[in-house]
Structure 1
């Protein structure tokens, strides 16, 4: 198929949404699909997203998007994010009566409420419900998330799980040259991800744990937490093999978030053989129980200490069951392509109208 993907989150941003989308696009192309990605880096005028300056919002993009739609003539359209590009693409699809799917990557209402407590959750969910229910299917990563969204009035929810690159994230990176934490007291409890208020990192940093606590990643809350927790080792952002080594050399990966819809870093830690400790929250509660690769509990300290006793071999074995190819096959199966006769007539008519206007 010719698949059009519209996203406000794309490289060089570094987060779970971008990793999921870029890997899905790679796998789609490897499967023989033609994929066009519309993202903020295509020359649009942009402004930084408030509180997230590394995320750019495209402005005045309607004419450009319409031209890209016409040039590509997609068979299936997926709108991945609820930003400015996502809203323009949604309006085009509704105006032109084109079927499209969306995906629910982040708990946007909770993120907004964490930064701006005066904005109620109900307002955020009304915004999200209006955006997503206009499409022909909403892809969600976990059953917990699906159930929660159903209760809030979302329709046409379908599963789209996540994968992990077991070649990049692997156990044999552990301990190279003494390991990246060789100078820190053991055991090492590490958080890897964006350093932002909605990630609930302080719930981890406040714990009385043996050994060392490490935070790996950039983000708007980094400098604040550095000043507040002098006994914690902050590494800043890492990528590639260096990132994988920070997973592999940890003794436990700690995931304190309540707002993530999946938590791709959970699988990346497991692929490196590192067991995971997390709260009972969407994402961890769907991935970890029964995996032998981690512990979920309302008591995060207890989960951390219990995770120390788990087998690193079991963690790796569980991660190996989650491939990006299987994830992408599920994504493609969820798409809603326009029926072929209607599609041919539609784009032919649009080309004719464009020539007449010219």
Structure 2
């Protein structure tokens, strides 16, 4: 299996997904290669510095010529993905793609680029794919309405190392509210941080908007990126997980939180509405403060048990592997039931 992606060494949902696929593939003795910008000369993307821009696209082309894959998976729509797509077209090789990021909404929010322009590019990019993986039914419907085809729902999982032993935090004067993820403007974190005097808020993550938030909200705890058991313990110390983003396709951190027994407070938008069971595993409401307050009445142990039975990286890999191994030239719009060898840089 060969994956081409514009992001792999960073901390985000895309890299987390493919690193876990690699882990499952290794456990099953399935060859799994990843081509990413760190294998070549690169620079940070100016307006999104956690993304690496490959400065040697022709060396990626030569890598593909040398490997001569019968099929590959294109994970992202950036320069790496473009090179891989053109190579597949020229060499008449089948490929699959994935829709991880709502770039039309992000670019409209950040730089007022009309969504129809971005959707036009993304329609063209994914049009030739045998399968385009999407995270949720809501995202699938959105893309169908935008003229995308061959869409397959591809869910996510939670690693055992991110799940803490069952425990209940000690009582506190204020509700302890956690958010985990990239600290950037499109994550809408202001909608949570404005309640710094109402809740005891912790933000775990980093990104270009961090210093601005620190200046505006001095009573919010910013603890940087947390990983593994340290992150699991942070989940266990909280009362509610808040997810204020309105533009995520999924929100992997929400299922991590639920597997640790945290109810999720969020807006009723794509992502949360596909992951959160209203009134059971969280509260979706137009008023985030009210959603957080109502979450404290939910059964954390029941949330934990149910979430752990639902979200599995093994199932995620099975869906991916099925469509990678058995491509179809016909539209596939229904979800499925439920040794790594890293490529080295060319010299």
* Number of the residue aligned with 1:4: 2
* Number of the residue aligned with 1:156: 150
Q: Does 1:204 align with 2:192?
A: yes
CA distance in 2, matches of 1:173, 1:105: 33
Report how far residue 14 of structure 1 moved: 0.6
From 91, 99, 111, the counterpart of 1:116: 111
Contact 1:209 1:301 in 2 (8 A): no
What stretches of structure 2 of length at least 5 have no aligned partner? 329-347
> Superposition pairs for residues 99-138 of structure 1, below 5 Å?
99-117=94-112, 119-138=113-132
C-alpha spacing 1:207/1:299, structure 2 compared with 1 (3 Å):
same
* Number of the residue aligned with 1:79: 74
C-alpha spacing 1:271/1:242, structure 2 compared with 1 (3 Å):
same
CA-to-partner distance for each residue in 1:52-78, whole Å, 9 max, x for gaps?
Answer: 21211102323x334433443434310
Corresponding pairs, count: 327
Contact 2:191 2:244 in 1 (8 A): yes
* Number of the residue aligned with 2:164: 170
From 264, 267, 283, the counterpart of 2:271: 283
CA distance in 2, matches of 1:146, 1:198: 21
CA distance in 2, matches of 1:284, 1:338: 30
Q: Does 1:234 align with 2:222?
A: yes
From 43, 48, 52, the counterpart of 1:47: 43
TM-score under structure 2 normalisation? 0.88
Report how far residue 171 of structure 1 moved: 4.0
CA distance in 2, matches of 1:76, 1:304: 46
Report how far residue 208 of structure 1 moved: 7.3
Report how far residue 268 of structure 1 moved: 0.7
TM-score under structure 1 normalisation? 0.86
CA distance in 2, matches of 1:121, 1:28: 36
Specify the SS of the correspondent of 1:54. strand
C-alpha spacing 1:155/1:167, structure 2 compared with 1 (3 Å):
same
CA distance in 2, matches of 1:162, 1:14: 16
From 93, 101, 104, the counterpart of 1:98: 93
Contact 1:76 1:338 in 2 (8 A): no
C-alpha spacing 1:338/1:166, structure 2 compared with 1 (3 Å):
closer
What stretches of structure 1 of length at least 5 have no aligned partner? 340-358
Contact 1:252 1:304 in 2 (8 A): yes
CA distance in 1, matches of 2:257, 2:327: 39
Report how far residue 262 of structure 1 moved: 0.6
C-alpha spacing 1:209/1:283, structure 2 compared with 1 (3 Å):
farther
Bigger CA radius of gyration:
1
Moved over 3 A (4+): 70-73, 171-175, 207-211, 336-339
Specify the SS of the correspondent of 2:77. coil
> Superposition pairs for residues 327-342 of structure 1, below 5 Å?
327-335=316-324
CA-to-partner distance for each residue in 1:193-214, whole Å, 9 max, x for gaps?
Answer: 1111110111112247743122
Question: Aligned-residue CA RMSD in angstroms?
Answer: 2.1
Specify the SS of the correspondent of 1:34. coil
- Segment of structure 1 superposing worse, 206-215 or 134-143: 206-215
* Number of the residue aligned with 2:258: 270
CA-to-partner distance for each residue in 1:10-58, whole Å, 9 max, x for gaps?
Answer: 02x111111111001211232332111101111x121211222121110
Report how far residue 289 of structure 1 moved: 1.8
